[in-house]
Structure 1
Amino acid sequence: MINIVRQMKMIKKALLNGAIYISDHSKQRMLSRGYQSVDIIRGILSGTINEVQRGFDPVSKADANKFVIEGEDYHGNPIAIVLVESMEGYCLVTTMPPMDKNRFSNVI
């Protein structure tokens, strides 16, 4: 069982150590949705993990833990960030505005 409070601290530490990676595809999707790196930073620092899933790490090409983080973007709006645990830290899978009331406490 994953301790989500401890895991969130590890994600924040990885952020501060530069161990969160953004693939080219994720960067394009992020920008097309109007998000910048500063939104990801603020979202992680203000956020909490609200879901843990199993997913695919594109770096190691293996199954890994995926974390859905609910936080605020640079402007204080709700943001959802999905990270996959990687050997090098974490890889950004996607960033999106939270719209599903069943999954997120703050929706747009």
Structure 2
Amino acid sequence: MNMKEIKKVLMTGKGKIIIGTHTKQRLIKRGYSKGDIVAAIFNGEIVERQGAYKVAIAGRDKDSNPIVVIIAKQSQLLFKVVTVMPPIDHHRFRESV
């Protein structure tokens, strides 16, 4: 999985990026929006691979704050946002809060 695949789904509308119920709840609790996820995908980069089908993307939200999006590939044109969080682990993310 690479950034090109994920961005292609957003730009073409062919395929989906879904957010589960639990993830939506955590997203709101942490003060993020769907727009923050989109911004992070477009300006971020893969900083960690968690197996063959899951990656951590570090980028910036709509307000230019650092953000990490964990996203999993479920099928060719289907991705699922696993979680969204601030980059607080200094060992995993260059730009930590």
In the superposition, the TM-score normalised over structure 2's length comes to 0.90
In structure 1, the residue matched to 2:83 is 94
Distance across 2 between alignment mates of 1:91 and 1:80: 14
Please show how residues 15-94 of structure 1 align to structure 2 within 5 Å.
15-16=10-11, 17=13, 19-54=16-51, 65-87=53-75, 88-94=77-83
Distance across 2 between alignment mates of 1:102 and 1:86: 28
Q: Percent identity?
A: 41
Distance across 1 between alignment mates of 2:30 and 2:82: 14
Distance across 2 between alignment mates of 1:80 and 1:97: 6
In structure 1, the residue matched to 2:4 is 9
Q: Which runs of 5+ in 1 are unaligned?
A: 55-63
**DSSP 3-state at the match of 1:71:** strand
Instruction: Compute the displacement of 1:100 (Å).
Output: 0.8
Instruction: Compute the displacement of 1:38 (Å).
Output: 0.7
Amino acid at match of 1:107: S
Instruction: Compute the displacement of 1:15 (Å).
Output: 2.2
Aligned residues: 94
Instruction: Compute the displacement of 1:79 (Å).
Output: 0.1
Amino acid at match of 1:84: A
Q: Which runs of 5+ in 2 are unaligned?
A: none
Amino acid at match of 1:31: I
Amino acid at match of 1:71: G
Q: Deviations over 1:38-57 (max 9, x none)?
A: 10010110000011112xxx
